[in-house]
Amino acid sequence: MLNERAGKMLLAVAIVCGVGLAGAVAMADAMHATPMATTTQPAVDRQALDQQLQAAQAAVESAGKALDSNDVQSARTALAKATELLASARKLLGTTASGQGQFANIRCPIMGSKIDPKKVTSDLIREYKGQKVAFCCSMCPPQWDKLSESEKDAKLKAASEAK
């Protein structure tokens, strides 16, 4: 269980890292929660998530101790480590830095149509640079596969922006 000070620091780091209050609460809950019924989202590897959060907690506690000793550099190093660990936890939860959900895009990078995460099956997903890219239909992933890296980058950037 998180002690009060470490909990507050973890929450502050989580908010700064872009998961926001809801994401921080979800991560803290996931650390101690019993498995819940899942919807269409893939199951979270709770053991890996728990390890990431425990390591982040330890890094935050280390930062607190360093601050208590006026060792600002060590505190910064520990908070940077906590930031990395929280980013890893965010990936395990299936959220992006923007908090938009399990996919890097909100529109199909090929057709431009809005992605409905509930309708995206495993054959409509490609892994690209550590992110999950969703497609609207079975015709799009093969077209994506033929693109160059620079073309993929441009299309993913456009598909990630709200229109």
pLDDT at 126: 94
Its pTM surpasses 0.85: no
Residues 27-43, buried b or exposed e (16+ Cβ, 10 A)? Answer: bbebbeeeeeeeeeeee
Asked if 88 and 52 touch (Cβ cutoff 8 Å), the reply is yes
CB atoms within 10 A of CB 135: 26
Per-position pLDDT tens, the chain of length 163 = 445 655 556 555 555 555 454 555 555 554 444 333 333 444 556 787 788 889 989 989 998 999 899 998 998 998 888 888 887 777 666 554 444 468 889 999 999 999 988 889 989 999 998 889 999 999 999 999 999 999 999 999 999 886 6
Alpha helices per DSSP H over 36-94: 46-68, 72-93
Please say whether the dihedral angle defined by the alpha carbons of residues 55, 59, 65 and 69, taken in this order, is positive or negative: positive
Helix/strand/coil for 128: strand
